[in-house]
Structure 1
Amino acid sequence: MQIKRKLNDLEGHLQAFQLSFHGNTQILSAGHEGLRDRLDFTWQEGRFGLFEKTSRNIVDITLCSQLSPELQVWLNEFRNIKWPVQKASIRLRVGPQEQRGVWLDLANIDIKTLLDEQSILRSLQEKAFVEMGQRRKVPEWTGPAYKLRDPELNVWFQTWMHDEAVNLFCHVASFTQPSLKANKLISEQIQEWLKNHSGIRVIEFGSGIGNLTFPALAVAESLTACEVDRLSLDGLQKTWETLPQNIKRKSGELKIHAGDFQKKITQDFSEFDLILANPPRSGLMGFIDSLESLQESQRPPYFLYMSCFPESMAKDLSRLKQWGYEIAEMSLLDQFPQTQHYEVLTLLQRK
C-alpha cells in the first residue's frame, strides 16, 4: 500500500508540470524496516529526537523501526549520557564494518565546556570516533587537557563498482545516503542504465565524496567530477587513490574539478554524453543554465537525475523538457519505508 501511495505522489508531481512517462516505474526496495545506518537528531533540554511539525518541541525518540539493529543499539547507549549543554545537533553513524561514529554540532562555548569537563569525551571515545563542530575537528587527549586536531578521513560509507564494494573515505559529518543496503540498489541501477552506452563521457555536478561517481565510472569511459566542498573532495581523492587495482583497471578515467564549476569549468557540454546530478532539496537552480544557450545537437544526449525531493525534481525536469529531454527510465527507491518519503532515479534522453 505504501508503494502505491508513493507512486501516486510521484505521478502527481509529474502531472503538475505536464510531464509524462509512458514506461513502467521500477520499484527498488531493500526491505521494509531497519535500513538506516545514519541518524540525525537534536538534543534539547533532556530530549533526544526530532522537532514536531507544528512547533519547536522535540519528540523524544527511544525506538525507531527505521534504524538498523546496530544503530539502534548505538542510540540506546548514547541516550545514557548526561550532557552539560542545553542544545546540540547530533549525528550517529554505523559504518560498513559496524564501526561507530558521532558528530557533535555545538556552539563554540559548548564545545569548550565538553573539552574542559573531559570525562564525557573520554567515555564517548571509548565507544566511537568523535567529531566536533562545523569544521569536523577531532578531540585529542594530550595528557593534561583536550585539544582539537584537524578532520580525519575514515571509511564511513560504501558504494559499488561492478560487483565489488568500494569503501568511501569521508567524515562522520559528511553527506551520504542514509542506508548502506539501499545504496547498493542505487549503484546497481546507475550501472544497469549506463552499461548499454559504451564509451560514455560523464560530467557530474556536486559529486560529494563520490557515492554516484564510482558506480558511473565503472561503466563510463571518463567522468569529470565537479565539487565545491573541499572536505568532500579530500575524501573523493583518497578513495580514488586507494581503489584496488583490479577495479581501477576496469574503470574509466576520473578527472576532478575543484571549486565553483559554474564559473570556471568549460561550458562546452558537447564533449560530454551524460550529465549526472543528485542536487539538494532546492534542485539544480542555475547549475545547468548554460544548456539553454546551446544548440540541441550540442547538449549531452543523456541526463541522469537523482532526488529525494520530487517537488524540485519535477520542476527541473520541466526545464529539461523545454531543452529537448524526455523521460526514458524511472525508478522509485523505497529508501524511507513507513514514511511518505522516497528516492527517485530518472534517466532522460534528448530527443
Structure 2
Amino acid sequence: MTVTDPQTLIPCPYKDTCSGCQLLDHPYGKQVQSKTSELRGLLQSHELQIPEKIEFLSAGAGYLRDRLDFSLQDGRLGLYGKNAREIVDIEICAQLSPELQTWYTEFRKIKWPFTKGSIRLRVGPEGQRGVWLDFANVDIKALLDEQSILKNLQEHAFVEIGQRRKIPVWNGHEFKLKDPELNVWFTTWMGELAVKLYCHVASFTQPSLKANKLIADKISSWVNQFPQARIIEFGSGIGNLTLPALTAAKSVLACEIDALSLEGLEKTVLMLPSELKPHSQKLTIYRGDFQKKILQDFSQFDGVLANPPRSGLMGFLNPLEELSYDQRPPFFIYMSCFPESMAKDMQRLQSYGYEIKELVILDQFPQTNHYEVLGLLQRK
C-alpha cells in the first residue's frame, strides 16, 4: 500500500455541489476502514466464508485518474450535481492526475456551438492526449461543418467522434469521418516489463495507469502460485489482465464479446517486444457472448480469470455446475468494481466447492464509495 497519511483530506471547492465524490469529508484512513468493513459485511451477508484479513492496496488518496467522462450542458462542463440533474461547471477536479488536469484545463477553453453532449478525456502512458466526443448526430454534423473547433482540437489531441469512434480527417476542403484507429492509450505489465495496450480513446480501460500497476502485479502473483496453468478468461477486453496472466500460465483462452476490444488485443500481441513474443504462442482469442452461452469444457482448464461487467458472470458459470467436483478448475480469480454481483457469483462458486483464499481491495476510486475487488478462490 502506498504510504498515505490516514488523516489526509483532499481539498475540493465543489464538495458541497458535485456528486462525483462522496467521501471528501472523511480522512483517508476512515475511507479505508469503511470500505473494508462494507465489503466484509456484504460477503458475510451472502454467507461466504472469507479470510480473516482483507488486503487494501492504494496508489494514493487522490489525483489518480488518467481518463474521465465529463458532460456538457448549456456551456457548463463538469459532472452532475448532488441535488439536481444539472451539470456543475468544474475547473479543477481532485480525481484527475496532474497530466489530465492540465489537458482538461486547456480543453475547457473551447466554446461549443450546441448545448449538451458527453466527452471523454484521456492521457496516455507517454503523455499523449485523446478526446472522445459522444454527441447527437445533428451536433456532430454541425461540428464537422463548423470546422475551426475540430482543426484546433486536432492540433492538441487525437479525436474520436460518436459511438462508432470515427476519426475526423481534413481533406483540404471539408472533414470526412474514417474508420476507428488503434493507438496506445494504456499500459499493463508482464512481470516488470511494461506492455503498451492498443485500443481507442473510447475503449474501456481501468481509470488509472498508476493503480493499474498494482492490479497487474496482483494478478501475476496469483497466477504464479499455479505454474503452467491452463486458464480460461472471461471478459478479456483489450488484454489488461490477459497479458500479466500469460507470464506464468501454460495457456490462456481469452473470451470477449466486443470486437473492437479484441482488435486491440490482437494488435497488442502482434506488437509485443521481442523478449515477450514467445508468450503470444500461448494465447487463443475467442469472441462470443459468454454471459449467455459458453461452449468451452471447463474440465480442460486449471484456472478461471474473470473480470465481468456490473451484471456479473451469469450464464458463464453454468458449465461448472455440470461438472463433478474433481473436474472443476482448481482455482478461480475474480475481479470486479461491483461487489454486489461479485458476492452473488462467489456464493454460487462456494456452492461448487470453492473457498476464498485471498481478498484484496484496490482503491482506484478514492474519495468515492466505489472500489475494485480482487479475489482468489480455490477448490477445497
Asked if Structure 1 and Structure 2 have the same fold, meaning a TM-score greater than 0.5 normalized by the shorter chain, the answer is yes
Match of 2:365 in 1: 336
Give the C-alpha shift of residue 288 in structure 1: 1.5
Question: Partner of 1:184: helix, strand, or coil?
Answer: helix
Superimposed CA distance per residue, residues 238-264 of structure 1 (whole angstroms, 9 cap, x where no aligned partner):
000111120233676000112334677
**Is 1:68 aligned to residue 115 of structure 2?**
no
* d(CA) in 2 for partners of 1:284, 1:263: 9
Question: Partner of 2:315: helix, strand, or coil?
Answer: coil
Structure 1 counterpart of 2:122, one-letter code: R
- CA gap 1:33/1:252 in 2 versus in 1, 3 angstroms: farther
Structure 1 counterpart of 2:271, one-letter code: T
**Is 1:242 aligned to residue 271 of structure 2?**
yes
The equivalences for 1:1-351 within 5 A come to 1-53=30-82, 55-249=84-278, 253-261=282-290, 266-351=295-380
Runs of at least 5 residues in structure 2 that lack an aligned partner in the other structure: 1-29
Structure 1 counterpart of 2:355, one-letter code: E
Give the C-alpha shift of residue 7 in structure 1: 0.3
Q: 2:44 touches 2:50 (CA, 8 Å); kept in 1? A: no
Give the C-alpha shift of residue 227 in structure 1: 1.1
TM-score (norm 1): 0.97
Structure 1 counterpart of 2:33, one-letter code: K
Structure 2 counterpart of 1:42, one-letter code: S
**319-328 or 113-122, larger mean C-alpha shift:** 319-328
Give the C-alpha shift of residue 5 in structure 1: 0.8
Question: Partner of 1:22: helix, strand, or coil?
Answer: coil
* d(CA) in 1 for partners of 2:376, 2:293: 27
Number of aligned positions between the proteins: 351
Structure 1 counterpart of 2:269, one-letter code: W
Give the C-alpha shift of residue 196 in structure 1: 2.0
RMSD of aligned Cα (Å): 1.4
Q: 2:294 touches 2:316 (CA, 8 Å); kept in 1? A: no
- CA gap 1:50/1:262 in 2 versus in 1, 3 angstroms: closer
* d(CA) in 1 for partners of 2:292, 2:136: 34
**232-241 or 244-253, larger mean C-alpha shift:** 244-253
Structure 2 counterpart of 1:319, one-letter code: R
Superimposed CA distance per residue, residues 145-172 of structure 1 (whole angstroms, 9 cap, x where no aligned partner):
0000000000000000010000000000
**243-252 or 335-344, larger mean C-alpha shift:** 243-252
Give the C-alpha shift of residue 54 in structure 1: 5.0
Question: Partner of 2:125: helix, strand, or coil?
Answer: coil
Give the C-alpha shift of residue 4 in structure 1: 0.4
Runs of at least 5 residues in structure 1 that lack an aligned partner in the other structure: none
* d(CA) in 2 for partners of 1:130, 1:347: 39
Structure 1 counterpart of 2:356, one-letter code: I
Structure 2 counterpart of 1:138, one-letter code: I
Structure 2 counterpart of 1:185, one-letter code: L
Superimposed CA distance per residue, residues 109-135 of structure 1 (whole angstroms, 9 cap, x where no aligned partner):
111000000000001001100000000
Give the C-alpha shift of residue 82 in structure 1: 0.4
TM-score (norm 2): 0.89
